[in-house]
Each structure stands twice: as structure tokens, then as C-alpha cells.
Amino acid sequence: MRIHLVGVGGGHPDQITIQAVEKLRAVDVFLVADKGDGVGDLAQAREEILRRHVPGDPTVIAVPDPARDRAPKDYGTAVLDWHDARARAYEKVLLSLEPDTTVGFLVWGDPALYDSTIRVVERVRDFGTLDVDFDVTPGISSVSMLAASHRIVLNRIGGPIVITTGRALLDDVAAGADNIVVMLDGNLTCRELAGTGSWSIYWGANLGTADEQLVSGPLDECMDEIERVRAQLKAAHGWVMDTYVLRTRA
Ligand SMILES: C[S@@+](CC[C@H](N)C(=O)[O-])C[C@H]1O[C@@H](n2cnc3c(N)ncnc32)[C@H](O)[C@@H]1O
């Protein structure tokens, strides 16, 4: 069984490469994680990508996403348990398909950046119950979209950039990071750094969608505006996805 993991960008059907479209067109059956309520717009974005780029009526199987422990004692173990549960759910569906089926996963943004699909499919392969092989097609990540929308270069000349999560941000700052991309930060952890006069922010939400929102400037001055815009998007759509660059002010 061949599995294509295809990066499809962050929400806009134009933000997908020709290589990705060719992979999508070679797929017999798409598997999508069904995350339940509150992500209707995201499911619609996926449907629109298929409608625009895959002729006919592609077969899509929604696989109920296993519940995840959101307040675990040990974060790493909880994530691995969740990957395992997801892999078992996919394995069950894959076992019901013909062995020569080509299966596709639409992966948000780029599969190599804060996404579990590669690891989960590796697990399915390692269970040994299926003869599976997979390939990965890169996609435009939210980080690239953020930089393009703000018209910035991510690194400073010759300098490094740390890509991290809201959960790890304060530790990374304590370790000396001063030019940072932050993802997966539903709590806006950057609030903890406001008031110091030290940081600039380039924030973007729902990038690539009709409702894309951008705020940039000194963190101290932008924080209230970011919280307001974020709450507005969440109220309008039931979800919001945001990413930001934090860097020390010159
Ligand atoms: C599970 S990660 C997936 C990242 C994805 N693989 C990528 O390459 O962008 C989800 C996080 O990506 C960021 N993200 C994804 N899509 C986004 C978008 N359209 N606008 C802003 N941030 C986005 C947010 O930080 C969100 O919490």
C-alpha cells in the first residue's frame, strides 16, 4: 500500500504546489482526521482543496480522532500515547482497503513542521500488519506565510532563528533566544514578555484565508490589539490559528 502525505498549505487552495496537486490526483482514498465540532471551516478548507484540484468525486474517509489528554502529568508520554491511538485508528481503516490502494493524507502547512502525520504513519508501518510505504510532499507552512504577509526575512543577517511552541517559549527566552517563531500558542504566552520594552512582534492569524489578520510593532503596544483581534476571530469562526515572530528590539 502506498501512502502520500501531502502538504497542502495553510488554508488557501491557491497555496498548493503543482507537485502536491499531482500527488493528490494519484490518490484513491483520502483519510482525514475527524476532530469533531468547532473546526467546520478547516474541514471546508480541505474540501475546497479537493474540489479545486482533484477531478471527479474523490473518496474521503473521516477517521474519528482519539481524545487527547490536554493536562497530562508527562507531556511527552501523553503525545506518544495519542500518536499510538491515532495510528491504531488509521490501521483499522487501512486494513479494510485493498492492498494496492493509494492512500492520501492532506497535511496542513508543511508535514515537517509541528505535525504528527509522519510519525503516526511510521507507527502504522511499524505495527507490521500492513505492507505500507509512504512519501512526503512539502507544503507552504504558516511560518512562510507569516513572513511573506509581513514582508520580513525570518533571520537577522547571518543570525539564527528558533522555532518553538507557546509551551516552550519562556524557557527558550531564558536560554537566550532573541529571534523566535512561536506556533501552537493558544494562550498567547508572549503576554508574559510584554511591559519589558524589549520585544517586537509580527503576529498573523488565519493566514491565507479571507479573514487573515496581521498586527506588528512593539510588543507592549500590540498586545491588547492582538488579544482583541484573536477573540473576534474565535467568536466568528469557532477557531483561530495564529503564529508570530518575536524578536528583541534593535
Ligand atoms: C499543528 S501545527 C501545524 C503547522 C503546519 N504543519 C505548518 O507547516 O504550518 C498548528 C499551528 O500552526 C500554525 N498555523 C497553521 N495554520 C495557520 C494559519 N493559517 N495561520 C496562522 N497560523 C497557522 C498555528 O501556530 C497553529 O497553532
In a mutational test of the pocket of ligand 1, which residue from 49, 143, 183 has the highest number of ligand atoms less than 8 Å from its CB?
A: 183
Among protein residues, the one whose CA lies closest to atom 2 of ligand 1: 114
In a mutational test of the pocket of ligand 1, which residue from 8, 83, 108, 203 has the highest number of ligand atoms less than 8 Å from its CB?
A: 108
For 107-164, the pLDDT digits (tens) are 999 999 999 999 999 999 999 999 999 999 999 999 999 999 999 999 999 999 999 9
In the sheet that holds 29-34, the strands lie side by side as 59-64, 29-34, 102-107, 2-7, 133-137
Residue positions counted in the chain? 250
All CATH 3.40.1010.10 domain ranges of the chain, comma separated, are 2-137
Atom of ligand 1 nearest to the CA of 110: 8
From the candidate CATH numbers 3.40.50.261, 3.40.50.300, 3.40.1010.10, 3.30.70.20, the one assigned to the domain spanning 2-137: 3.40.1010.10
Show the ligand 1 pocket: residues with CB < 6 angstroms. Answer: 10-11, 108-110, 113-115, 141-142, 183-184, 204-208, 241-243
Among protein residues, the one whose CA lies closest to atom 11 of ligand 1: 184
For 40-98, the pLDDT digits (tens) are 556 777 888 999 999 999 999 988 888 777 677 777 778 888 899 999 999 999 999 99
In the sheet that holds 179-183, the strands lie side by side as 162-165, 179-183, 242-248, 199-205, 213-218
Looking at residue 239, its amino acid is W
Beta strands in the chain (DSSP E): 2-7, 29-34, 59-64, 102-107, 133-137, 162-165, 179-183, 199-205, 213-218, 242-248
What integer pLDDT is reported at residue 40 of this predicted model?
A: 53
**39, pLDDT greater than 70:** no
Atom of ligand 1 nearest to the CA of 182: 25
Beta bridge mates, 180: 162, 246
**37, pLDDT greater than 80:** no
- Output 47 or 2, whichever has higher pLDDT: 2
For 171-202, the pLDDT digits (tens) are 999 999 999 999 999 999 999 999 999 999 99
Cα-to-centroid distance, 110 and ligand 1 (Å): 9
All CATH 3.30.950.10 domain ranges of the chain, comma separated, are 142-248
Report the percent of the chain where pLDDT is more than 70: 97
Q: Provide the 8-state DSSP code for 193.
A: G
Cα-to-centroid distance, 241 and ligand 1 (Å): 6
142-248 placed in CATH 3.40.50.620: no
In what helix (H) or strand (E) does residue 78 lie, and over which residues does it extend? helix 75-95
Q: Angle between the 75-95 and 117-127 helix axes, to the nearest 10 degrees?
A: 60
The Cα 64–Cα 242 span in angstroms is 25
Q: How far lies 151's CA from each of 1, 145, 202, 216, in Å? A: 42, 10, 10, 11
What 3-state class would DSSP assign to 169? helix
Atom of ligand 1 nearest to the CA of 141: 8
Instruction: Determine how many CB atoms are found less than 10 A away from the CB of residue 133.
Output: 9
Cα-to-centroid distance, 243 and ligand 1 (Å): 7
The Cα 85–Cα 67 span in angstroms is 9
| Closest to 111 in 3D by CA, of 206, 9, 242, 243 | 9
